[in-house]
Each structure stands twice: as structure tokens, then as C-alpha cells.
Structure 1
Amino acid sequence: MHEALPTKLNLRRRHCVSETSCPICEAPREDAAHVFLHCPWLRPVWFGSFFQLAPDPSILSLPIWLEAKLSQLSNLESGSEQLISYLGFLLWGVWKMRNNGTFRGERPNPVLCLNLAVEASKEFLLETTTEFLPISGGHVNRGIRHWTRPPLGFLKCNTDAGFLRVGNKAAGGYIFKDDKGCFVWGNHRQLHAASALAAEALILREAVFAAMNLNMDRVVFEADNLGLIEACREQREKGEILAIVKDIRKCKLDFPNWIFSWTRREGNECAHVLARLALCRSIPPHWCAHLPQELSTTINRDMVASAMRESGVAEERSNPPDPP
């Protein structure tokens, strides 16, 4: 830490400001320990975190406290990497909330801070390991970084959403492709959402409603938000999107062949491109008949790459190496 953070106390020492009070709670001295441990809005954050603690008011040095906490987590028999990652993203979320309160006048949201830490640490761990991730009776290889075809006779619907915290602006899109990877149909829309997770849940629900209205009984719905997919598969509950997920689950009751699948961002690139174009309002009218160049290139690349990979796998299986 080395007093590098621009807290009010450090800014005063550098003669950048004339006062040192906390912009959130107006405590007379905003140092690093106050920002991350003692500001009143942090009580539900630390108590509601995986650590379930109430920081001792006598703690005056954040670096000393952090060093002790990291040492404690490092000595755990299991789960130390996950908890250290979570702690880092929790502190990062606290700092972001503090800055939003200081410069935008936004009231810090403990629940949002906790959710951001969970999602960010989970995404970080997924991106930095190639182990297998269990999902409802099967496994998803964390190392898979490409779009894959659905089973024969199925459609695959990739969904994604973009979210801008300023003004809570969001937009999303979904794309249906057949079992060869050819584009079938898609849609996009502007969304009213309070978070990226809510935006992704809303656009997935839109895709589910579309499939239901068109009586598509064999669909793989795929997204790159693991928490959302787990919620749709009834593996976990997420209060922020519970009502949306209940709608999705209700629809699935009439379509038992539907599958909800998680993929990495690289496997969801076509929906990501569509969501970004929608957020920027850069999608031309009648785009399904004349795909935007970037989207068309992405879909074609997915289709060709998937066919080549599957052809390679089939060739390897039909021509096994000679026994030694």
C-alpha cells in the first residue's frame, strides 16, 4: 500500500486538498484503514462477506491488517486461492464504491459490492485455470475457448448483454444457429437493468420467450455468465435476478429438451458482438437479412473453426496411432 492511494489524508499530505474528512460519512480523517475497514457503510459488506467479520476499530494500519489476513488465508488447507482472489476483488469493489460516492454522489451499495466481488473473483479463477468445472451431473472444460456446435437436430442460442453503469444503460442480443453453425435468426433490444447480471438475465429471458413463441423444442441456450446458467439450472439462487430466472424455469417446464449451457467469453463471441453493437446503437434495420460485417465475420469464423475441429477429432478417432 505504501500510502499511495489518494485518500483524503494522503492528498492533504501532498498539499492537494485542504481537509481530510471522509466524503461518504464525514468522519474527520479518511485514511486507508477508514476507506476499507471502518467507514459505516462497510459493516454489512464485511459481515455479509465470506469472512463474516467486524473489523476491530483499533486497527490503524491497513497494510498490517492485510498482511495478517493474507498470511491467515495462505495457511488454509484448501480454498486459499479462491479466498485470496475474493478478498482482492472485494477491496477493489470497496474502492470503486468509495470513488463513485466521492465523484458522482452515488450512495455505496453493500449488496452490489458483494455481488461484484463474487462475480469478478469467479471469472478470474475461470480464466486462470484449465481444470474441469462440474455442472449438474457433467463437466465443462474450463480450457474450451471456442464456439461448439449443438447436438444434431438442436439449435444453439447464444445470448449476451452490455451494461454501462453511468445511467444504468444496457442492451443485449441473442443469436440462433443450427447444428452446422449457420445463422438462423436473432434479435436485440435496449434494456432497463441495475447491473450487468440483471441485463444478461433479461436478454436470456427474451431469447427463451422467443423460442417458446416459435415452439422451438430443441434449443441449447448458452451464455458466458456462470451464475446465471447455474440459476437457470436450479443449482443456486441469486436474489437479484430471482424473478427473471423463475420465468425462465417456468417456460422450461413445457420444453423439457431445452438445455442451459455455460461457455467462456470466446465461445460466446457472436452474441458479445451483437450486444456491443446494440449498446452503441450501431445495428442497421433489417440486420438479420443483411448481417453487419463484424457479426457476419464472427459467425463464419465460428462455423468454419468448429467444423475443422470436429473434422480433426473424427479423423483422429478413425485413424488411431499404431500400437507400440
Structure 2
Amino acid sequence: MPVRTKLRKRGLDVDPLCPWCGIEEESIPHVLLECFCIRRVWFAVLGVHVTGATSFHASVLQILEGVGAEMVARFFTTVYAIWEARNACVFEDRELSIGAIMDRVRALEAFPRPTVLPRSSIHTGVATWNRPAAGWIKVNFDASVRRSMAGFGMVARDEEGMILAAVTLASVMMQSAGLAEALCLRWVMSLALELGFFNVCFETDSLQLFQWWRIRSRGCSYLDLIISDCRSLVSSFTLMDLLFVRRSGNTAADFLARGASSFAVWIEEGPPGLDTFVASDALASMPA
């Protein structure tokens, strides 16, 4: 985490003092646990006084020893809310508000936690489009390469099978279909965040891409770097998964990729012709 002491060690000319108390240097244990300005938060949340932390890791082990899963979740929810408040102070010049932090903790704890979707089998693959679980958004995406030019397509749908957004992108020079699929994944993940989708199940019909994602390669090829970029975006989502589906279950995204002629965005609708594929998917995925 880019606290000021670490930024100073990396050569940045920044004030090392805590933006809240202005007395001690801003280290990870200090800003998240020890600063007297936020000790009241920890007493209110867990009923503990945090002092003398040698490291954040050591403090976590000490505080959470023997507690249940609910308290563990509350601890890290509070850490997240404190870090948000710190960033608001540094970058937006907001004053510290203990009440605002507590409200944020309560809001995060009340956030719905949908059931995680089961992963598809690599060998058999789902042959038809399936609706996402309640609280999730399913984003199907595909890349189409013709004459060294690529077209990208994505369609986002809710648990009822209704279109939330459809997007196309064209005129991208491409060397291979595999590279196009990886670039499409990076594009669609960034796009989902821009659209405000944070509980997302991404679905691809590229078995090669799905296997690359599972292998977690740390090579230095251009493809490895793209996959690494995609992994860096995962933490921006509340919940995220990548599934494999057969091409017959990804026809809507394939239609968009093949027909892409420009960058175009449709909200709660799609281009002419997409409704046919969406209606077919919705019918095939209708609960028995």
C-alpha cells in the first residue's frame, strides 16, 4: 500500500507524516491501526485498543486470534473503510470523520453476498447460455479476427437475461486470434468497471484463453503481460469470475464481434439483430 514512508523510500518527495495526526510517520500499521485519530473506530467495531504494533501482520494475528468468521470479515471491512477515508483525506482534502467511517463499515457489511457460480468443466463446457446468479452480472465477450484486423464484442445481462449494455470495438491490428481474445478480456474488464459492474461473471468461448487464465503463468511474453494486466484489475471488482462456455452459448457476443465496425455503446438495448440471440439465450436458460 502506497503509504508515505514507502513513497519516500522510493524516492518521492512527500511529507512522511500521517495526514491525520501529523505527528508520526505514516506506515501501514500506523495509518490502519495505531493512529490515535482512528483508535476509536477499532474500539467501536471490535472493542479493542490497538497499540505498539510491530507490523500490520503481527497485529492482525493478535487481534483475530480465536475469533469467528464474522469478526474476521468485520475487521477487514473496517480496514478497507479506513483506507478509503485516508485516501479521501489525501486526494480530496476531506476531514477525518469517525461517524462516516462507521457508516461505511455498516454499508459494506450490508452489501449483498450472492452465491458464487460453479466453474464450468473445461472438458465438456456449457453448451448454452445460463443466467447468472442473483446479484451477479454476466458479461459475454468475443474477438473476431479477419485480414489481421480484430473486432471485439461484449454484452452484459442480468439474472433475468435482460441486456444492461452492449459494446463493440473495431479496427484493432492483430497478429493472432489468441492474442485478440486476451486483449478483448482486458478491454472488457476495464469496460465493465467503467459501466459500474462490480459483481461480474465473464464468459468466453476461447478454451485457450481460459486455460491461460487458470495456469497463472508469470512469463515475459506480450501475452503474459496482458494476462497480468487483467489480473491486476481483479481487485477492483467486489466479486469476479471467468468461465468457459461453448461457442453455441456465446452467440450474442460473437454476433457483436463479427459485426463490429466502430466503437459503439448501447445501454439496456443492442444493435439490430442482437435481440434474436438474446431472446434465444433467455428462453434456453429459463428455469424449469
TM-score range for the pair, normalised by the shorter chain length? 0.5 to 0.7
> Match of 1:192?
173
Q: Is the 8 A contact 1:193 1:199 kept in 2?
A: yes
> Match of 1:223?
204
Q: Aligned partners of 1:225, 1:237: CA distance in 2, in Å? A: 20
Question: In structure 2, do the counterparts of structure 1 residues 163 and 137 end up closer, same or farther at CA, with 3 Å as the change threshold?
Answer: closer
**What letter corresponds to residue 179 of structure 1 in structure 2?**
E
- Secondary structure of 2:259's match? helix
Q: Is the 8 A contact 1:176 1:183 kept in 2?
A: yes
Structure 2 residue 280 is the aligned partner of structure 1 residue 301: yes
Question: In structure 2, do the counterparts of structure 1 residues 198 and 254 end up closer, same or farther at CA, with 3 Å as the change threshold?
Answer: same
> Match of 1:211?
192
- Secondary structure of 2:239's match? coil
Q: Aligned partners of 2:162, 2:239: CA distance in 1, in Å? A: 21
Q: Aligned partners of 1:288, 1:269: CA distance in 2, in Å? A: 19
TM-score relative to the length of structure 1: 0.47
**What letter corresponds to residue 223 of structure 1 in structure 2?**
T
> Match of 2:14?
none
Question: In structure 2, do the counterparts of structure 1 residues 185 and 219 end up closer, same or farther at CA, with 3 Å as the change threshold?
Answer: same
Question: In structure 2, do the counterparts of structure 1 residues 197 and 175 end up closer, same or farther at CA, with 3 Å as the change threshold?
Answer: same
Sequence identity (%): 30
Aligned Cα root-mean-square deviation (Å): 2.6
One of 235, 251, 256 as aligned partner of 1:253: 235
**What letter corresponds to residue 270 of structure 2 in structure 1?**
L
Q: Aligned partners of 1:268, 1:138: CA distance in 2, in Å? A: 14
Output aligned runs, 1:1-324, within 5 Å: 139-140=121-122, 142=124, 144-164=126-146, 166=147, 168-190=148-170, 191-236=172-217, 239-255=221-237, 257-278=239-260, 281=261, 287-288=266-267, 291-307=270-286, 310-311=287-288
TM-score relative to the length of structure 2: 0.53
> Match of 1:321?
none
Q: Is the 8 A contact 1:232 1:248 kept in 2?
A: no
Which sections of structure 1, spanning at least 5 residues, go unmatched? 1-135, 312-324
Q: Aligned partners of 1:290, 1:217: CA distance in 2, in Å? A: 20
Structure with more contact order per residue of length (Cα contacts < 8 Å, sep ≥ 6): 2
Q: Is the 8 A contact 2:120 2:244 kept in 1?
A: no
Question: In structure 2, do the counterparts of structure 1 residues 209 and 154 end up closer, same or farther at CA, with 3 Å as the change threshold?
Answer: same
The alpha-carbon deviation at position 139 of structure 1 amounts to 3.3
Q: Aligned partners of 2:264, 2:242: CA distance in 1, in Å? A: 30
> Displaced runs of 4+ in structure 1, greater than 4 A?
234-238, 283-290
Q: Aligned partners of 1:203, 1:149: CA distance in 2, in Å? A: 22
Q: Which has the higher helix share?
A: 1
Paired residues, number: 169
> Match of 2:27?
none
> Match of 1:34?
none
Question: In structure 2, do the counterparts of structure 1 residues 192 and 219 end up closer, same or farther at CA, with 3 Å as the change threshold?
Answer: same
Q: Aligned partners of 1:292, 1:149: CA distance in 2, in Å? A: 21
Q: Is the 8 A contact 1:157 1:220 kept in 2?
A: yes
Deviations 1:102-123 (A, max 9, x none): xxxxxxxxxxxxxxxxxxxxxx
